[in-house]
Amino acid sequence: MSLTINDKAAAATAAEPAGGRARRRPNLGELLIEGRSLIALVLIIVLFTALAPDQYLTVDSLIVMTRHVAINAIIALGMLLVILTGGIDLSVGSTVGLSGVVAGGLLQGLHLSWADVTVYPALWVVIVVAIAIGTLVGWCNGVLVTRFKVAPFVATLGMMYVARGAAMLLSDGKTFSQLAGQPELGNQGFRGIGLGEFPPKEWLGHGIPTGIWVMVAVGLIAYVLLGRTPFGRWLYAVGGNARAAELSGVPVKKVETRVYVLCGFASAVVGLIIASELSAAAPQTGESYELNAIAAVVIGGAALSGGRGTVRGTLIGAFVIGFLSDGLVIVGVSEFWQRVIKGLVIIAAVALDQLQQGLKRRPAAPADPGKRPSAPEA
Amino acid sequence: MAAASAASAASAAETPATPATPATPETAETPATATAAEPKVVLSARGITKNYGGVRALKGVDFDIREGKVTTLFGENGAGKSTLMKIMSGVERASGGKLVLDGREVHFASTRQAEDAGVAIIHQELNLAPNMTVRDNIFLGRELRTRAGGIDYAKEAQIVGDLMRRLEGDIKPTALVADLRLGQQQIVEIAGALLNQAKVLIMDEPTSALSAPEVEVLFRVINELTGDGVAVVYISHHLEEALHITDHAVVFRDGELVAQAPAEAISLSWVIRQMAGRAVDEASRLAPGVTGAELLSVHDAVVPDPLTSGRNVVDGVSLGVRAGELVCVYGLMGAGRTELLEAVAGRMPMTSGRVALAGRDLTRASIRERIDQGLCLGPEHRQRDGLVQTLSIGRNMVLASISAFTKGGFLQRRAEAQRVKRGQAQTVIKMGSAKDLIGSLSGGNQQKVVVSKVLLTEPKVLILDEPTRGIDVGAKAEIFRLLAEQAAAGLGILYVTSEIGEALQYSHRIIVMSRGRIVRQFDSGRATREEVMVASGENTAVLAEAENGDSQ
């Protein structure tokens, strides 16, 4: 990956043109480690196809599994933004539940006791409000972290309880069901968010559900955001070294606040998709989703310390987790073993990542006073 | 003036030490001026060399530490004093040579090994856990056990109490280190060394953050320790203070031990002459530039100490930098140089004062706004503040000027690549691909990336803090050549350095700071090493003495 530089010679001769040294070619071992999550995904598919040839690798099953993956992937992409800045967001699962409940409640009708009327907002209002609530949770996280200097872990842990509690309060602990809406109220169409298909089933025999398209859209947006906009560049800089970023004029606090807002937004979208798919909104929805999202990001090669991670990696990470879990279910592995295996995969991913970082660091080792913790003289 | 003539005699007799013929410990006890009563050598270095990459920090040093004496090391930054002390105390390993302790050759693989052998070092930055008590800090890693296997807190507290009485430190064993003043914390460190029955105690800049009464206490403690036979090695940039406490003075220059003499035989002017060594090469001085209108003006800047309330690290500093001018700020550590630059760049808050660039007031502007207006800082610690280690070389280079290649909210990759190429050509960075991680570059080239990053913001005034810290001579010269070019092109440049040679050679004007204030300004064309060195100390009486010494 990184090339070796003979810094002594390079520094001593001033006029020598740069770029003469050849890039070191990565060996097979390094390639395997570099592409480990993709290799893991292929292995998973091959393994389960062998174990359950008729059930695993069929178009229908792939669509179902990908729909599951989409739920996790959309949250994980929001989580990726947060983790890239060196933060973490534990409140995403609760936000999923809260935004679903808000949507469900509004579709069931908002009873205004002072006027004794029940208002049924239009579908677009329901969507906007539900997403706004999720985004608000994210904004609270951001403000707590940047303005009040609460550690991200603690701030979002707190908001996780607050948002979950709010969902319980709004629904009185019950599930809002039958969210299809009624023609006479003009709030139909909610189910299309999760269950709508494109292209329509009649065309090809298989339709791809909206959830998957949303994942594709969010993935593309995240990809462009990270790779092609100043905000993306700032984000990597803040996560890599916030002090240096600040001195380079990066609005560090604004960046940090925004990633939590975006993460809240992504979670709210997922809340809507799930409520729509199930045609029901339960306040418990989304429990432990934060852990799946973090796992996807980490398997995708991101560093929890910030500054390192990609959209592609995170998506692959989400597929690894989703295809593994569903595969284990299809071949009938017990729920208990499923957890053990998932845990081992996550640990292996991070252990390999450390190994890879160690390999990367090695070529840059030549003695250099500036890189040592202690320079010859302070 | 008798002292001065004696000093020159001594220096003539003793310079330079000869690294080529390492003496045995036995013969080392009788140096040129030794008398019969010379105390025993506890720890000695023979032919010690140390290389950092291409930098030769020590070039074969012979050095003795004597029982019950205070040996003081003098020398400019980079002369090799701290490096030698780090080697002698196990912090770092020598590239060559040997250490002899009580007549036996020793190898210290860690500070812990050195401590166990009786050699302790107290760094400028204290090595205490602030969240723990004095007692727990002193016994950290060597806790006393009760028979049941727990920690014997009562016994520990008793021992700490005894140590504190001996050191005249009115410090409770159960006090939190975070609640102690800096001087007290230093006493705690010394107590830790004593607990381990240190035979040699090395103090690197122990007084740089102490108040005058605390320095007095420290000196009393040192006297008491030497009375008990402990050998003390003392490094300080405050020459007068160091001379006051020393028994034996040793001067380093450019990685070599160039002179040594007993305290009775020397004066301040001798020390300064030995430290400076040579006069500045007149031919290599920067030619006076054509200076234009004043670009940067700082008026009465006051920056409070972020750690100690009521103290100002920058205390009413006013200065101006004109177009085409290279201005150097020189001062000792803790003089407030870095804080001044950071306040000008918008990083540290000022309680009063004004900053203006080309007539526009920027006192309340954010860092971003200052960069947009043409004021950008290249910070002192490139690892901590200058570079993002997880980003590539190219992305580090353009980090401060992203808006210049953003169109309609999107980064223009081609424009970015062109900027990187321009930056690389401008600062002559040796690299493979701009996509490689920044860590793949040498220190000198990393520093050039920092300079390049600042230059790519197209500044009117360039501010650089220690732009040549920890990089080799070749890269240093290249960076200063670049700065001179930029100045000639009409930029104003304000930089901080700890090396007088640099200050004299590569600047039009030198501003000397001490304790948060500007104490003197020099036209570099006329200043001498001695003048600058003396001005950076805080006592003006010293200046007079040194000038008398020179006239002899």
At A374, list the tokens.
Answer: 């202690």
Do the domain assignments include residue B257?
yes
User: Are A12 and B474 contacting, i.e. CB atoms less than 8 angstroms apart?
Assistant: yes
Are A246 and B384 a contacting pair at CB < 8 A? no
Query: Domain ends where: B217, B241, B276?
Result: B276
Is B91 near chain A, with CB under 8 Å?
yes
Q: Which residues contact A217 (CB under 8 A, 6 or more apart)?
A: none
pLDDT tens per residue, range B157-184: 999 998 888 777 778 999 998 888 877 8
Asked whether the predicted pLDDT for residue A87 surpasses 90, the reply is: yes
Are A2 and B475 a contacting pair at CB < 8 A? no
Do the domain assignments include residue B117?
yes
Residues of B whose CB is below 8 A from A371: 383, 439, 443, 446
Residue of A nearest to B387 (CA): A244
B110 forms beta bridges with none
What pLDDT is recorded for position B276?
A: 74
Residues of B whose CB is below 8 A from A374: 86, 91-92
DSSP track, A222-234: HHHHHHHSHHHHH
Same domain, B339 and B264: no
A208 forms beta bridges with A198
How far apart are alpha carbons A60 and A276 in whole angstroms?
20
Same domain, B15 and B46: yes
Residue corresponding to tokens 């140590």: B163
Asked whether the predicted pLDDT for residue A18 surpasses 60, the reply is: no
Do the domain assignments include residue A76?
yes
Residue B149 or residue B124, greater confidence: B149
What pLDDT is recorded for position A71?
A: 96
Residue corresponding to tokens 């991670």: A309
- The mean pLDDT value for A3-29 works out to 44
Is B371 near chain A, with CB under 8 Å?
yes
Residue of A nearest to B87 (CA): A376
Instruction: State the ipTM, two decimals.
Output: 0.82
Mutate to test the interface with B, among A4, A6, A7 (most CBs of B within 10 A): A7
Among A26-35, A334-343, B343-352, the range scoring the smallest mean pLDDT is: A26-35
Closest approach of B471 to chain A, Cα-based (Å): 6
Same domain, B351 and B336: yes
Same domain, B354 and B479: yes
Direct distance between the N- and C-terminal alpha carbons of chain B, in angstroms, rounded to an integer: 8
Same domain, B312 and B357: yes
Are B388 and A244 a contacting pair at CB < 8 A? yes
Asked whether the predicted pLDDT for residue B5 surpasses 90, the reply is: no
Residues of B whose CB is below 8 A from A5: 430-432, 440-442, 445
What is the reported pTM? 0.78
What pLDDT is recorded for position B57?
A: 82
Same domain, B333 and B464: yes
How far apart are alpha carbons B267 and B243 in whole angstroms?
8
Asked whether the predicted pLDDT for residue B116 surpasses 90, the reply is: no
User: Are A330 and A99 contacting, i.e. CB atoms less than 8 angstroms apart?
Assistant: no
A351 forms beta bridges with none
What pLDDT is recorded for position B281?
A: 61
How many other CB atoms are found less than 10 A from the CB of residue A110?
14
What pLDDT is recorded for position A367?
A: 38
What pLDDT is recorded for position B529?
A: 80
Same domain, B247 and B336: no
- For residue A26, what pLDDT band results from cuts at 50, 70 and 90? low
At A266, list the tokens.
Answer: 């992504």
pLDDT tens per residue, range A312-367: 999 999 999 999 999 999 999 999 999 999 999 989 888 888 887 777 665 443 33
Residues of B whose CB is below 8 A from A229: 406, 409-411
What pLDDT is recorded for position B132?
A: 92
How far apart are alpha carbons A68 and A318 in whole angstroms?
9
- For residue B149, what pLDDT band results from cuts at 50, 70 and 90? confident
Residues of B whose CB is below 8 A from A19: 431-433
Q: Which residues contact B93 (CB under 8 A, 6 or more apart)?
A: B87, B109
Asked whether the predicted pLDDT for residue A247 surpasses 80, the reply is: yes
Are A18 and B81 a contacting pair at CB < 8 A? no
CA distances from A342 to A52, A309, B478 (A): 19, 21, 55
Q: What percent of chain B is predicted at pLDDT more than 70?
A: 87
At A43, list the tokens.
Answer: 């292995």
Whole-number average pLDDT of chain A: 85
What pLDDT is recorded for position B279?
A: 58
How far apart are alpha carbons B276 and A95 in whole angstroms?
67
DSSP track, B478-509: HHHHHHHHHHHTT-EEEEEES-HHHHHHS-SE
Domain containing B484 equals 282-385+458-527
Asked whether the predicted pLDDT for residue A9 surpasses 60, the reply is: no
User: Are B486 and B460 contacting, i.e. CB atoms less than 8 angstroms apart?
Assistant: no
Residue of B nearest to A244 (CA): B385
Are A370 and B377 a contacting pair at CB < 8 A? no
Residue corresponding to tokens 């690549």: B417
Is B548 near chain A, with CB under 8 Å?
no
How far apart are alpha carbons A300 and A226 in whole angstroms?
15
- The mean pLDDT value for A254-267 works out to 97
Residue B356 or residue A21, greater confidence: B356
Residues of A whose CB is below 8 A from B436: 1-3
Residues A134, A136, A140, A145: is their CA dihedral positive or negative? positive
Provide the number of CB pairs (under 8 Å) joining chain A to chain B.
210
How far apart are alpha carbons A10 and A6 in whole angstroms?
6
What is the number of domains present in chain A?
1
At B15, list the tokens.
Answer: 């310079």
Asked whether the predicted pLDDT for residue A233 surpasses 70, the reply is: yes
Residues of A whose CB is below 8 A from B385: 241, 243-244, 247
Residue B145 is given by DSSP the state: B
Do the domain assignments include residue B549?
no
CA atoms within 13 A on the CB side of A203: 6
State CA A24 to chain mean position distance. Answer: 33
Nearest by CB to B445, which of A10, A245, A372?
A: A10
- For residue B284, what pLDDT band results from cuts at 50, 70 and 90? low
Residue A113 is given by DSSP the state: T
How many other CB atoms are found less than 10 A from the CB of residue B52?
24
Asked whether the predicted pLDDT for residue A34 surpasses 90, the reply is: no
Do the domain assignments include residue B178?
no
List own/partner pairs for A172-177 with CB under 8 A and 24 or more apart.
A173/A283, A174/A283, A175/A104, A175/A280, A175/A281, A175/A282, A175/A283, A176/A101, A176/A104, A176/A105, A176/A107, A176/A108, A176/A275, A176/A280, A176/A281, A176/A282, A177/A104, A177/A279, A177/A280, A177/A281
Closest approach of B331 to chain A, Cα-based (Å): 13
At B302, list the tokens.
Answer: 């006051």
Do the domain assignments include residue B163?
no
Nearest by CB to B53, which of A8, A233, A306?
A: A8
Whole-number average pLDDT of chain B: 83
pLDDT tens per residue, range B373-399: 999 999 988 888 999 999 999 999 999
What is the number of domains present in chain B?
2
Do the domain assignments include residue A311?
yes
User: Are B157 and B189 contacting, i.e. CB atoms less than 8 angstroms apart?
Assistant: no
What pLDDT is recorded for position B300?
A: 92
pLDDT tens per residue, range B473-513: 778 888 998 999 999 999 999 999 888 888 888 889 999 99
Q: Which residues contact B435 (CB under 8 A, 6 or more apart)?
A: B392, B393, B394
Nearest by CB to B443, which of A19, A368, A374?
A: A368
Closest approach of A234 to chain B, Cα-based (Å): 8
Looking up residue A43, the CATH number of its domain turns out to be: 1.10.3470
DSSP track, B334-390: TSSHHHHHHHHHTSSPPSEEEEEETTEE-TT--HHHHHHHTEEEE-S-IIIII--TT
CA distances from B100 to B45, B232, B526 (A): 6, 16, 45
Looking up residue B95, the CATH number of its domain turns out to be: 3.40.50.300
What pLDDT is recorded for position A286?
A: 94
Nearest by CB to B367, which of A11, A246, A372?
A: A246
Q: What percent of chain A is predicted at pLDDT more than 70?
A: 88
Residue A78 or residue B56, greater confidence: A78
Same domain, B102 and B32: yes
Residue corresponding to tokens 């292995």: A43
**Angle ∠(A290,A293,A233) on CA atoms, nearest 5:** 115
Same domain, B26 and B61: yes
Nearest by CB to A228, which of B333, B411, B445?
A: B411
What pLDDT is recorded for position B283?
A: 61
Closest approach of B552 to chain A, Cα-based (Å): 33
Closest approach of B161 to chain A, Cα-based (Å): 34
Of chain B residues 470-509, which have a CB less than 8 A from chain A?
A: 470-472, 474-475, 478
How far apart are alpha carbons A339 and B209 in whole angstroms?
56
Do the domain assignments include residue A10?
no
Same domain, B294 and B381: yes
Are A247 and B53 a contacting pair at CB < 8 A? no
User: Are B248 and B265 contacting, i.e. CB atoms less than 8 angstroms apart?
Assistant: no
Query: Domain ends where: B228, B244, B276?
Result: B276
Are B443 and A229 a contacting pair at CB < 8 A? no
Q: Which residues contact A215 (CB under 8 A, 6 or more apart)?
A: A69, A70, A73, A74, A315
Of chain B residues 28-87, which have a CB less than 8 A from chain A?
A: 50-55, 57, 77-83, 86
CA distances from B46 to A117, B18, B50, B61 (A): 95, 11, 12, 6
Asked whether the predicted pLDDT for residue B44 surpasses 70, the reply is: yes
Nearest by CB to A5, which of B52, B81, B432?
A: B432
- For residue A254, what pLDDT band results from cuts at 50, 70 and 90? very high
What pLDDT is recorded for position B12?
A: 40
Are A240 and B389 a contacting pair at CB < 8 A? yes
Is B416 near chain A, with CB under 8 Å?
no
- The mean pLDDT value for B271-295 works out to 73
Same domain, B324 and B265: no
Is B452 near chain A, with CB under 8 Å?
no
Same domain, B272 and B287: no
What pLDDT is recorded for position B307?
A: 72
Q: Three-state DSSP class for B141?
A: coil
Domain containing A102 equals 37-350
Residues A363, A368, A371, A374: is their CA dihedral positive or negative? positive
What pLDDT is recorded for position B542?
A: 45
Q: Residue count of chain B, please give it.
A: 552
Are A376 and B55 a contacting pair at CB < 8 A? yes
How far apart are alpha carbons A7 and A118 in whole angstroms?
74
Helices (H), ranges, chain A: 7-12, 28-34, 36-51, 59-84, 92-108, 123-146, 152-171, 192-195, 201-204, 210-228, 230-240, 242-247, 252-278, 289-299, 311-330, 335-361
How far apart are alpha carbons A120 and A309 in whole angstroms?
43
Closest approach of B445 to chain A, Cα-based (Å): 7
pLDDT tens per residue, range A155-197: 999 999 999 999 999 999 999 988 877 777 777 788 888 778 8
